[in-house]
Chains A and B, each alone.
Chain A
Amino acid sequence: MSAFLSDLFANFWVSLAGKLLLVALMIPLVGMVIGYAEMKLSAKMQARVGPYFAGGRWGWAQLIADGVKFFQKEDLIPEEADRPVFKIAPVLVLISTVALLVVIPFGPGIIFRDLSVGVFYALAISSLSTVGILMAGWSSGNKYSLMGGLRAAGQLIAYELPLVLAVIGSVMLAGTMSMSGIVEAQIEAGYPYLIIQFVGFGIFMVAALAELSRIPFDMPIAESELVMGYLTEYSGFRFLFFFLAEFANMFTLSAIAVTLFLGGYWLPGIPEDVLAYAGPVIVLAKTFLLVFAMIWFRWTFPRFREDQLQSLAWKWLIPLALANIIITGAFKVYL
């Protein structure tokens, strides 16, 4: 049976179909799990109960009920909107979300496709969603959306740079851009790169939060002033896609951080042959730990002001990331 499976998955087309099916199931599932976790944790942190009735116990079916509800919502596109652009925007955002998953290693050899330029690819693809968000903001024909879209563009490009520069430290240490190559280099080195790259990790997480437009960086969708910014005019399933993409991107960006800084599927002291099975569990555990931190931040920090947000990126994070590159380079060359 297992030999048959191996043979079957050795066929490129069969394995590709299997991977696509897996991802098609994974994205809504991850979205639901994180959405539910967000609801429950938010409730916990604010001394509320949170979802309670759906599904009978602990409101576990809340997100499924929400999904069914969204299916039945009227799909409104405002008269003033630029219809084609309005419709393409969520597609672009979701494409970037799905394509990001390609390079994340879940175990030794368990990866959708190990690209030789993995890190670079991940960062390039993740910036595709910026275009989608700008399109959404522009095409809505709404003043709030326009403001939100512009803010989003300004913020996402400002934090794209620290994100890109922060990962260079890990690439340098590993000497490869392949995601599984970086994990293997960490196994070989015997320590996760967090120990040397703690600055890089910090910058990466801050920039990832900003890329996701999550509190404290939620200026583009600020509910209290921009009534959800670029999301204002979206309704029904189109609206849901943006949320699905946000939750799935929380997962993928955390998984990238896990791969680059926290040793990926590796835990010290676990033998190689066990890793093949425990790998995905370890990756998921580490990833959800970071996702938990992101949700935690949401209820801990107040929102940045727009100029503070820009100066944090340009005056602090980018020079810090550049200094980190030089110091890591010196470490690599002289030690």
Chain B
Amino acid sequence: MTFPNFDLKPPVRILARGGVLSTLTGMSPYFESYLTVGAFAVLGAILVMVMLGIAAVLRPTNPTTTKMLTYECGVDPVGSGWSQSYVRYYVFGLLFVIFDVEAVFIFPWAIVLDELGTFGLVEMSIFIGILILGLVYAIRKGVLRWE
């Protein structure tokens, strides 16, 4: 028995200009990948809608003023729910952006490291070293200190 093949390598036709097209759908495997991902994302949304739809038939709907209040340990909420709060996390947001961009740079480097050899390793060490310096600066500056 052959195992049902989940189109890991679908039948393809090589085009003259070097592209590849699936012989079955006339789309490139690249586009098919996007389509699959898109279909999965849509499925996520549909799952929510279908289940909420079923629930809408079964559940009671009887809103009262008290029920529609936000929860605040049983007493009536004081002031607005969007009260002012100290967003100490914005600094982390800034740090995150820097390091996330760094990660984006490291991934392609990680793949071609074999060809780059020592040169690539030294370059990346310098890059990471500079970023660690930045992190040390932020920590010394007291970003992580909670008073």
Contact = CB atoms under 8 A, between A and B. Distances in A.
Interface of A: 2-3, 5-6, 9-13, 15-16, 19-20, 23-24, 27, 70-81, 90-91, 94-99, 101-102, 109-116, 119-121, 140-147, 150-151, 153-154, 157-158, 160-161, 164-165, 168, 171-172, 175-177, 180, 227, 232-233, 236-238, 241, 276-277, 306-307, 310-311, 314-315, 318-319, 322, 325-326, 329-330, 332-333
Contact of B81 (A9, A71, A143): A143
B71 A120 contact: no
A165 B36 contact: no
Interface in B55-108: 55-56, 58-63, 65, 67-73, 77, 80-83, 85, 87-89, 92-93, 95-96, 99-100, 103, 106-107
Closest CB pairs A-B (n = 7)? A141-B81, A95-B44, A307-B146, A154-B89, A98-B44, A172-B110, A79-B68
Contacts of B56: 75
Size class of the contact patch on chain B: 35 or more
Contacts of A96: 44
Most chain-B Cβ atoms within 10 A of its Cβ — which of A9, A74, A113, A154?
A: A113
Interface of B: 1-8, 10-11, 22, 24-25, 27, 32-33, 35-37, 39-41, 43-45, 47-48, 51-52, 54-56, 58-63, 65, 67-73, 77, 80-83, 85, 87-89, 92-93, 95-96, 99-100, 103, 106-107, 110-111, 113-114, 117-118, 120-121, 124-125, 128, 131-132, 135, 138-139, 143-146
Nearest to B124: A329
Contacts of A319: 132, 135
A69 B12 CA distance: 49
Given A154-B89, A236-B55, A16 B39 contact: yes
A172 B51 CA distance: 42
B58 A72 contact: yes
A72 B111 contact: no
Given A94-B48, A146-B85, A157-B92, 7 more contacts: A71-B59, A76-B67, A113-B37, A161-B96, A233-B70, A319-B135, A322-B128
A333 B111 CA distance: 12
A19 B132 contact: no
Contact of A95 (B45, B103, B117, B146): B45
Most chain-B Cβ atoms within 10 A of its Cβ — which of A97, A168, A333?
A: A333
Contacts of B11: 10
A161 B3 contact: no
A16 B34 CA distance: 12
Contact of B55 (A71, A77, A175): A71
Contacts of A97: 44
A113 B36 contact: yes
A165 B110 CA distance: 11
Given A171-B110, A237-B55, A318-B135, A330 B121 contact: yes
Given A115-B33, A311-B144, A142 B72 contact: yes
Nearest to A138: B82
Contact of B10 (A12, A73, A177, A227): A12
A177 B107 contact: yes
A171 B111 contact: yes
A150 B54 CA distance: 32
A139 to B, nearest CB: 10
B40 A15 contact: no
B93 A157 contact: yes
B103 to A, nearest CB: 4
B2 A80 contact: no
B146 to A, nearest CB: 4
A142 B11 CA distance: 54
Given A16-B35, A78-B70, A91 B45 contact: yes
B44 A227 contact: no
Nearest to A322: B128
A12 B117 contact: no
B85 A147 contact: yes
A314 B44 contact: no
A89 to B, nearest CB: 10
Contact of B69 (A79, A109, A329): A79
A2 B4 CA distance: 7
Contacts of B2: 2-3, 6
Contact of B6 (A15, A74, A171): A15
A165 B131 CA distance: 13
A80 B81 contact: yes
Most chain-B Cβ atoms within 10 A of its Cβ — which of A71, A146, A330?
A: A71
